[in-house]
Structure 1
Amino acid sequence: MSLSKGIQSAAAAALSAAMLIAVAACGTTDGTKSGDSSKDSSSTSIQGFDTSSIQKDDEIAALLPDSVAGDGTLTVGTDTSYAPAEFLAEDGKTPVGFDVDLSKALAAVFGLKENTVSSTFDSIIPSVGSKYDIGISSFTVTKERMEAVDFVTYFKAGSTFVVQKGNPNKVDSSNLCGVKVAVQTGTTQEEEVNKANEQCKADGKDAIDIQSSKLQTDVTTAVASGKASIFYADSTVSAYAIKQTGDTLETLGEDAGGVPEAVAIKKGDTKTAEAVQKAIQKLMDDGTYKKILDTWGVGSGAIDKAEINPADAA
């Protein structure tokens, strides 16, 4: 299927401008609210939830091993190309997003400073326990990933296909054979498209032209600029991308799935897993967690119980 050549240059420009503001792996976006805003983000007009009033919980903090708490900092690995979960503010260096606010809230419960470190999505899990204390980057819980790390759930989301406004290439998401499909490297969406591609080849049909990019911003740009016909991503991210590109894009079909996302923790580090689970549950129970999600317009993805290595992994 050929790509549309009629996309307006103004639309591409709108995308570029949006991505300078939100340098962008799941639920629908409810619309960003302005309520609680961070007081330490003077370098950017993008404001998140103010975590400064969150108090240390001595009992929960005592659960953390010295390997995590010893330096006084909770170091979190994240891919800051995935708005609105984690992305860079207008200054191009300050991490913001609901996952970042959750990281700050966890650090506050532990009585630690928080340090979000930008990385590529597929490099975070291998570095948890060495370079990073934990990873918070919209990780969908899968059995394969649980072989490498332990997980503590905090969100639930689905996946969404996105095309140019009006679907000019007449893409059918149920038949992607021969279609140029953009995905982010290392995501569950990439895995699903790879499986669909194998089926295309087994059926004797044209292969899917899979365009895998390290950054979600590049995935979004590929479709908005006409280099790809469709992309597949977490539904929160898809909804945010549509909003940020001035409705240059639109969803195709219904959201798929509804699977848990979780904090990644070094495999076998039961103390940190327990501490993170209890800290997230505390934030859920006292209402802070929901306020964070509502600040970013993603409250529909809220869950009420944080679990270690849930049984419903994909």
Structure 2
Amino acid sequence: MTASTTRRTTARARIAAVGAIAVAGTLLLTACGDQTDSASQESGSGKETKSGAPLFSKLPEKYQKSGVIKVGTNAEYAPMESVENGKIVGVDPDLAEALGKQLGVKFEFTSGSFDGLITALNSGRHDIAMSSITDNKQRQEGLDDSGKKLGEGVDFVDYFLAGTAVYTKKGNPQNIKSIEDLCGKPAAVQRGTTYEEALKKQSKACTDGGEKAIKIEAFENDTEAQTRVKSGGAVAGVNDYPVAVDLARKADGGNAFEVVGEQIDAGPFGIAVKKTNTGLRDALKEAVDAIIADGSYQKVLDKWGAGTGAIDKAAINGGK
């Protein structure tokens, strides 16, 4: 989940066969019967949750009373977050479930547009945003691409490491080997992401070097960008590395796309928290460190084939 208003740059990016997923409107998954996703399940009764969770006392009173942390996400990035059978699943929901066991609360995920996540967080619609969001100074300070103040920034609790990747149609008909090969060619990307910024940066490098600019085609959601690449309208797409790898592995049984070159500018994904909500931020950091220490963190990453993104210790605002 690598921009101007909300996502994944030194951590670029910000990962079901994603190529077929379209999240229409906003999906709210709560702990009610069949609609309860794995990250929203109760740890038990209220009493058991409080007494059995080692970090419950670290939470602000608001969350101790409600027993819920509301999470904004954009569920289009398998294996990080996607929709299967009406439920939000993936690395982030499973990590949230593990965090919930440490904190004694449940995490309820709502899916919406990526470029609106931070705005929704700061407006109070969500308590956190967890969606493969690259932690960088721009988002921390609430700045646009030119450095102009757009609004409130956010704090991040860093929990994963990923870079940007280039993917092409299976067979790589244009022989694209790296992002540098996209000069003068059409490339597809989701709007508002750090990998859109990666394309803009490379496009400038193209023109500075006397070549033509990249024809950047930015779409509202990543599914549209993937469709553009698959149809041949764009020679390549750009995405978070773990997302691109998962896409190449699963879309059309592995026959739709392939990843080319190495990942670029790896950096941290962070759980976004409102700057004034320092109590929740600090509790989340302790919880991330706790699940790293007890092994449940690595178990989740390995389950989804995302083990290469593991970190040794959580950080606050570690992105540059």
TM-score, normalised via structure 1 length: 0.79
Match of 2:262 among 254, 266, 272: 254
Alignment check: 8 A CA contact 1:51 1:101 kept? no
Alignment check: 8 A CA contact 2:43 2:104 kept? no
Q: The residue matched to 1:258 in structure 2 has which SS?
A: strand
Residue 43 of structure 1 deviates from its aligned partner by 7.5
Residue 52 of structure 1 deviates from its aligned partner by 5.3
Higher helix share: 2
2:239 counterpart residue number = 233
Question: Percent identity, aligned pairs only?
Answer: 36
**Partner deviation per Cα, 1:33-80 (whole Å, 9 max, x = no partner):** xxxxxxx99779x98999959965655222222444443211000000
**Partner deviation per Cα, 1:160-211 (whole Å, 9 max, x = no partner):** 1101122212335314221111111221111111122233344554332111
Tell me the distance in 2 between the aligned counterparts of 1:140 and 1:20: 22
2:26 counterpart residue number = none
Distance 1:112 1:49, change over 3 A: closer
**Partner deviation per Cα, 1:217-269 (whole Å, 9 max, x = no partner):** 22222211212110111111001111112232111111222211111010132
Tell me the distance in 1 between the aligned counterparts of 2:229 and 2:132: 22
Tell me the distance in 2 between the aligned counterparts of 1:47 and 1:110: 16
1:122 corresponds to 2:115 = yes
1:184 corresponds to 2:178 = no
1:140 corresponds to 2:126 = no
2:149 counterpart residue number = none
Alignment check: 8 A CA contact 1:49 1:101 kept? no
Tell me the distance in 2 between the aligned counterparts of 1:50 and 1:239: 29
Which runs of 5 or more structure 2 residues have no equivalent in the other structure?
A: 1-15, 24-31, 142-152
Tell me the distance in 2 between the aligned counterparts of 1:305 and 1:257: 20
Tell me the distance in 2 between the aligned counterparts of 1:76 and 1:48: 10
Q: Read off the aligned partner of 1:281 and give its amino acid letter.
A: D
Tell me the distance in 2 between the aligned counterparts of 1:178 and 1:125: 33
**Partner deviation per Cα, 1:70-128 (whole Å, 9 max, x = no partner):** 43211000000111100100x2x311111011122223322223210001111111222
Q: Read off the aligned partner of 1:185 and give its amino acid letter.
A: R
Alignment check: 8 A CA contact 1:158 1:257 kept? yes
Distance 1:51 1:166, change over 3 A: farther
1:6 counterpart residue number = none
Distance 1:41 1:104, change over 3 A: farther
1:106 corresponds to 2:92 = no
Tell me the distance in 2 between the aligned counterparts of 1:273 and 1:43: 28
Which runs of 5 or more structure 1 residues have no equivalent in the other structure?
A: 1-16, 25-39
Distance 1:63 1:210, change over 3 A: same
Q: How does 1:84-99 map to 2 (within 5 A)?
A: 84-89=79-84, 91=85, 93-99=86-92
2:202 counterpart residue number = 196
Distance 1:86 1:73, change over 3 A: same
1:287 counterpart residue number = 295
**Partner deviation per Cα, 1:1-37 (whole Å, 9 max, x = no partner):** xxxxxxxxxxxxxxxx94487558xxxxxxxxxxxxx
Alignment check: 8 A CA contact 2:53 2:101 kept? no
1:154 corresponds to 2:159 = yes
TM-score, normalised via structure 2 length: 0.78
Distance 1:203 1:255, change over 3 A: closer
Worse-matched range after superposition: 237-246 or 59-68: 59-68
Tell me the distance in 2 between the aligned counterparts of 1:280 and 1:132: 19
1:72 corresponds to 2:67 = yes
Q: Read off the aligned partner of 1:259 and give its amino acid letter.
A: G
Tell me the distance in 1 between the aligned counterparts of 2:158 and 2:67: 24
Tell me the distance in 1 between the aligned counterparts of 2:234 and 2:204: 19
Distance 1:132 1:48, change over 3 A: closer
**What is the alpha-carbon root mean square deviation over aligned residues?**
2.9
